[in-house]
Amino acid sequence: MTSSANREGAGRRFLQVEELLRKRIAERAYPVGSALPAQRELAADLGVSRDTLQRVLKRLASEGLLELRQGSGSYVRAMPSVPTEGIVDESAAQPALGSWIERAFQESGEVSLDVFTLTSETLYGHLKREAERIIVEKRTPPRALRIRMLVPSEDQPLPYPRAVDPSDPRIHQRWRAMARKYARETDRLVKQLAKTGVDARLEVRRVRLTPAFKLYVLNGQHMLYGMYMPEKTVITLDDEAETQVEAVDVLGAFSKLHYFHSRSADARDVAFFEEKRDWFQSAWDVLGSTAHGEK
């Protein structure tokens, strides 16, 4: 990889990470007053060097969104301003996953989430916020929580994320580690909620598919659907040298989500909802496997 291509890819990643952190703050995955993950962990998850992450954090701090505390970490100070120009009404805005997960927890005593995703990183962030509302803020919990996650099998090559060099397994190994990490963390959250009296259960099945889209079905009636957009980029590995690897990847947090309801007035929306809901159930029953290599 040439140094100019390296710089171009790293510069693009800088802008993506900046936008991603703004989005997470705006969607309250990182609510005001909360601490961001430790820099090493956050840089590793985002695939950037710690130097790049620090520059992003300083920029957000200069805008008043973050407070950087020496030796303590980075804390959210304020929400980013949301441009309203061109938005005719709220329904015209892009639906936010965090808002719909919060609504799902509020509207039903028995919450259900069916998810098809590349990793559960985004889902975990929003579930963590709901767990904090219940455990720390003492919000009334639901009676039950059922989460079913479909994720790709680990024992097959994926078209993304992957290194451009087909002989380089490091990007696949990085994805596998992230997928395992967030599955474990989601399971830990579910067990914490169970200790509060919630009948909480998580099931994970693996399919020999690479998601072309993200799918969330909430409480059997709300659905968020968005395509993954592959791109060539540069990923920084979490090693001593912070090695940069030319890769094909997607940033799922940037997937444009579209909302559908099971009882929409638009018959085409209802048909789309039913098709994707039934697809999930079919993939779960026919293609899903509980086998994995996480031990």
Helix spans in 47-169 (H): 50-62, 97-107, 121-135
Containing H/E element for 14? helix 3-26
Annotated domain spans of the chain:
1-79, 94-288
What is the three-class DSSP state of 231?
strand
Closest CA to 203 of 186, 226, 180: 186
- Are 242 and 49 in contact by the 8 Å Cβ rule? The answer is yes
How far apart (Å, rounded) are the C-alpha atoms in residues 176 and 170? 10
CATH T-level fold of 94-288 = Endonuclease; Chain A (3.30.870)
Find all residues with CB under 8 Å of 106, minimum gap 6, and list them: none
Sort 225 into a burial class: Cβ within 10 Å, 0-12 / 13-18 / 19+. buried
List per-residue pLDDT tens for the chain, 295 residues long: 445 555 565 677 888 889 889 988 988 888 899 999 999 999 999 899 999 999 999 999 999 999 999 888 999 999 987 554 443 333 444 568 889 999 999 988 999 999 999 999 889 999 999 999 999 999 999 999 999 999 999 988 999 999 999 999 999 999 999 999 999 999 999 999 999 999 999 999 999 999 999 999 999 999 999 999 999 999 999 999 999 999 999 976 667 899 999 999 999 999 999 999 999 999 999 999 986 544 4
Q: Which tokens belong to 236? A: 């920084």
Strand partners, 258: 225
Measured on CA atoms in the order 21, 22, 28, 32, is the torsion positive or negative?
Answer: positive
CATH T-level fold of 1-79 = Arc Repressor Mutant, subunit A (1.10.10)
Residue in the structure block whose two tokens are 């620090």: 54
